[in-house]
Structure 1
Amino acid sequence: MCTSCESCKRRDEYFYRNLDDEKKYFLVLMIGDFRDEMIIPEELVQRFKREILGEIKLETRNGDNHAIVVAKIQEKRIFTVGWRQFVANYDLQIGDLLMFRYKGNSQFNVIIFDKLGREKASSVVLDPFIPRVQDRGNEAHEIGSSEKMDVQCGRCNNWLEYHYADLDNENKYFLMLMMGDFQYEMIIPEGILERFKGEFPREIKLETQNRRSYKIGVAENKLDTCYNQKLVFSVGWGEFIETFGLQTDDMIVLIYNGNSQFSVIIFDKHGCEKALSVIVDPVPPPVQERRPYGTDIVKSSHFHSQPMQRQPFIVVNGLPVESPPTEGQWRAQLEMDKSCQGSMAAINTPPSESSGLRGSLSSEHGHGVRDVPVSSNIVKRKAKLSSSQKEQLRDGYITAHKTKLTSTQKDVVKQKVQSIESKTLIFVAVMYKCNVESPFFLTFPNYYAQKYLGEEARMHLELLGVKWQVRFPDNRGDKKLKHGWRKFAQGNNLKMGDICLFELLSNQSTMVVYVIPANDANVD
């Protein structure tokens, strides 16, 4: 699947909002003063077609029903009567999360996760010795005082955890928060491994809500010397992250289906599903019969011509948008997508066969190349990492490809990186002659440039509170900093052997620079 442009994202969002509410998931994070009342995030309200007001029912996985009143106060929807008891029943804490799915008739299924991404066993396991919360119709106003579950003691919690662990893996949900340097590899949380019965598969398949599958390798993190070896999502993980544009604080929920396969629900940091992982594209790129070319990977027999009737346009927020396709069209497209799974190739089409695109890709500008879904290799070649750079990623920094740090330098750099506590990867550069003398330039590694610098041409370097304006001459390959670098290097008296650490701030236009003098680094 190719990465989506802004128009595609808006189209996906429109189609998502027109889905039945029963097909949507929402995540709500417990933050602030949520115990007595809780505001439903506006982003979730906007995505819900029905008005969420009055009495609703929350049903946990063990079958217990809880009546909650949703009130509208100053244009905000708020969980009020009954919410306090719900919080107490499941001992909700700051950082816990609730995943909702509408089931009709003002009823929601709810799955409860703790802050480590583990299901709350008390919401899944049915304890016959704990009085159940019964459905009392329209008596929500009495729940806070009369329908009160016993608060579990330590022994009860141990009993629930024991029986949860004994459940089949197919009956368990796992939540993962995107944090740290997760784009290349991601450590599988210990809580997931502890609750997964048996050995975790060494290769898994993630299937999104629109039935697209992604194979992910699972490997041991052999560079973890402080603790036991950890398992990480490795091969294929970076492509999955890039495809859905996952960012820090986004979340995924994994549901095991057996045979090393997981269904995956993808949420942004607001708790909204990523529409790209739900919507099936109703208008796939046309693939015509043609003779094979040497660069082809996908056989034309994998595709079948099934033209869909074009839907009339309507206007939404002043913009023309196609009406949603019929259920039959969605199903037909879904079957077509299934037959195309795993097809990750660019198909070279002779210019004469591109005429069906009405000139939007001329042979002069498009060169007859177009994307097949699930391919992003045409746009940008993924930066390769050396073995030493892969090791550096574990410690939160990266150097240029050919930079070799001594063992002493590694220790000093690692200590400094830890003290900075940056939320982004830190670029570390050892000053060589070309950095502090003519021709005065500094090269950022391709991996770092693609991931953090983007198309930004102008930036500021900040050292000891003083800012220096610098500029990159172009955006191809490694970013080479020239304009303004000489003034920065001379103004701060940088010497050969000094080590500079660059921390990109959240505004992405300023990098704070930390300097470790050559003498302090004890260069061998």
Structure 2
Amino acid sequence: MNKPSTVCKECIAHHYWHHMDDQKRFFKVMMGDFKNGVTIPRKFVANIREHLSEELKLEAPDGKTYAVQVATEQNELVLRTGWPDFATAYELKFGDLLVFRNCKNSHFKVRLFDPSGCEKELSCVLMDGAPCVQERKVSHGDHTQSPTGKRMEIGSPSGSRKTSKMNPIDSPSQRRGHVPSARTKSPRHGVAKPPYILPRYTTLNDQQKNEVDKKVGAIESKIPIYVATMCNSNTARAFLEFAIDYATKYLPRENQTMRLRRPGPSKDDTWEAVFRVKNRRYTLGRGWRHFVDDNKLKPGDICLFSLMKNTKKLTMDVHIIRKRSM
């Protein structure tokens, strides 16, 4: 009687990684802070590290290609600069699954699937010239493209495989960070815009929303106000991060000192904190703890940050709504 053959798993793995075609694949499920970066699996990196450069080309099914920088963080390779543009263009959401196929020379073809298990239609259809596409306006800086009966293409106007230079705040998914309440009119275009911005995935209950609406109305800022509900990381760890869709549009891109000011009836109290920009993260660090302690901030309190213009030093007025008052 013949004995069953013993399979050498190490031999099979070696053959797969080093003797089969170069088009190896890995997948990533969009979880955590996936909007700002995703890691490349360590096993994948260990086997094809010599074929990876510091810049990868990600090509979606619609043929558009995005240049993404690879950063080394805590012994892992992370897709960073350029990744938020890709994530924004294809409106990536929590639970989406992406399959990356290496086509050599650091060029990856990416297939995108939503939580239903089906491909994301947006990634497969080249919108320029596509029939029966819903009309949508896309804002770029001071210009709003007129509706043309088709969805405006994200990326280069010709639909060629050039790297997209789209600003992430121009996409519909990033604009969803705005709260659709107490809207104001833009005198130039007559387009309603919200007076405050919440971090993504943050919602207010009815009572919080009413308090914020009243406070925002009283402030009357021409710049949207950033609204942050304090959590343990803000109070215990004394660390605050601004949402990227707010920060990229309204805050500077370089490290500096930020002055935090509590408007008072007779005299404004001020504090200074280190404002830092790194890996597309905009944070307040050293000095923020003094503000937290002096103002006795607790989890559940709401801080409204109003950016001041025409000041020599980066300054934000901070208005506080106490949890106990709601």
> Relative contact order, CA 8 A, sep 6+: which one is greater?
2
Q: So what's the TM-score if we normalise by structure 2?
A: 0.46
Return the TM-score normalized by structure 1. 0.29
Larger Rg: 1
